[in-house]
Chains A and B, each alone.
Chain A
Amino acid sequence: MNNKKKILKPLLHASIAACVASMSGYLSANEQTPIKIGMMLPFSGVYAGLGEAARNGLKQALKENQNTISGRPIEFIEMDTEAKPARAPEITSSLVDNQKADFIVGPVHSGVAMGMIKSIKGKDSIMIIPNAGANAATGAFCQPNVFRTSFSSWQTAYPMGKEAFDMGYKKVVTMSWNYGFGKESLAAFNESFTSAGGEVVKKILVPFPKTEFQSYLTEIASIKPDAVFVFFAGGGAVKFVKDYDAMGLKGKIPLLGSGFLTEGTTKAQGPASEGVITTLHYADSLDNAKNTTFRQQYQEQYGKPADLFSVQGYDAGQLIIDAVTATKGNTADKDALIKQMEQLEIDSPRGAFKFSKAHNPIQNVYLRKVVDGQNTVMKIAQQNLEDPARGCKL
């Protein structure tokens, strides 16, 4: 209820501080032109919460650097994508051609990402994707000037196939919405599960965004598989996990998923989410110094807990800072900048990572289990997992 007000106040302070900081930076280095960072995130609509988290993370990274890089101030240009793919080319062109943005951080939604990549191809701005997981963004459509600080769909589901087999499950039903992210996740699971020796006995694709799951759950019960692997996110994930429990399946057929099934949703899922096992490249409870500091500072600054999406935004910020610092503030030579970015190791709250040739993080993927409403890390499911980047010629 009152969250808004609690958030607004620190935000106001932060932005005043940011203004003052950037002004003083500007005054002291009069001739320094600002580094322009465009943000293309959803600030309204269903994904507004994700866009806000990514922006907060990005700004926190730059604030830790006093909002300057190599003496140059930062200028943010915020654009609301509304998570609508149709808007992507127009906004991207305006940031690239009119605003001459050095970096564009965005988007959240994979459909928007595809539109952005088409518009930024061969241009002089560098795009950093802080969420959208479509494999093609660092696969068939990969570009020299496109980086991703989040994940590919493949990475988040592939490790679970082997894990499921090692847990002793031989016959599994997979299920997701019938759209890109879901289908890519099921395919990645299928790839490692079948090569380990398991069998996917049934793949169920639910029309997006339908959340009436009863008939599918009845079907799963009649098949009686050893386990179920699903991809659902957000509101659909809440409903699915609750329905799965209410139909009495939870205690009998273990529920596995891509990490988004229980990411930011366990509170709404309540006790139904207890014991659900997922794989993801992050967990709130990750025990490392960087994560602890990051989460503490995020909480102080924004008055709410950090999440996966803020981590990915934060790392986009770190990537910009480290790269521009390495070129000593030179952003005019984009090829040199890209070269630096390719060599960097990002000290992320999820654990340090480097980029693959296709510019996707080579990162740990964790096996997590919901205990007391928290995604607790059981172990590293796969260390330094690199997306196969199928179709990328970089």
Chain B
Amino acid sequence: MSLAIETHNLGKRYGDVTAVNSLSLRVAEGEIYAFLGLNGAGKTTTIRLLLGMVKPTAGYADVLQTRVQPGRREPWAAVGYMVEDSRAYPELTVYENLEVARRLHPGVLPKAVDDMIEQMGLSAYADRRARTLSHGNAQRLGLAKALLHAPQLIILDEPSNGLDPAGIVEIRELLQSLVREHGVTVFMSSHILAEVARLADRIGIIHEGRLIQELNISELERDRKRLLVLAVRQLALARTALEAAGYTPLLHADGAIALEDASAIDAPDIIASLLVQAGAPPTRLMVEEEELEQYFLRLVGLEAGVQNE
């Protein structure tokens, strides 16, 4: 398996501030890799390092098996990207902006511009100046510029920023079809786990410049906390009974009891009979899976929600 992106202890310091710290990433060809982190976690700096826009202060990055160095021409013919918010020349039309992007990629035929306008649903705006575009359409233009030269590797910084729900679905489907039909590799950053969980094959979580976890989508399902949530009328009675049986009841939101014990989650029927026998029958009993965003916040150490009493 060859790697589309490989970084080795990549780091970037600005004076005393460490933006990216000892980052070792491996993105296989043909996969969708989501790079997840809160604002300021180092996502954009990492992307700029990968694109040779800033020099690393430690380590190195290989993109499409080429060492990234400032001002080099390789490997950019096969890389499409969008960094931060999409910007275009305001005085040029959508068509002209794409024509500029085309000429920056020698060998791309003029027809690619028309095709891309159609593919991104920008036909109605082709002759509009970029300054008049809505945020969503400006974002589409940015994506069109990134995809124009049919790159092998697409690096996108928060691609769904500013898109409406229909646009988000559309971009997701577009990226999936590029991966499926053309074997393209996608490296995208996001701060919303739920958004990338549907799209990515693998997720890397960055916090304060460090890669704190890398996981496959299947691992994501496995690692999320599960809880057995019980609502009862006699709260004290139920807690005593559960503690007597060796469980550790936690106070859940809205006055319910939560159990993290795997034995309880796997056998809620036993818990139900236990409570009935104790004279505190459950009025509600359900297995709750941790919300993705909560899981993400737990990973980066900003947990909220379940609390020990």
A and B physically associate: no
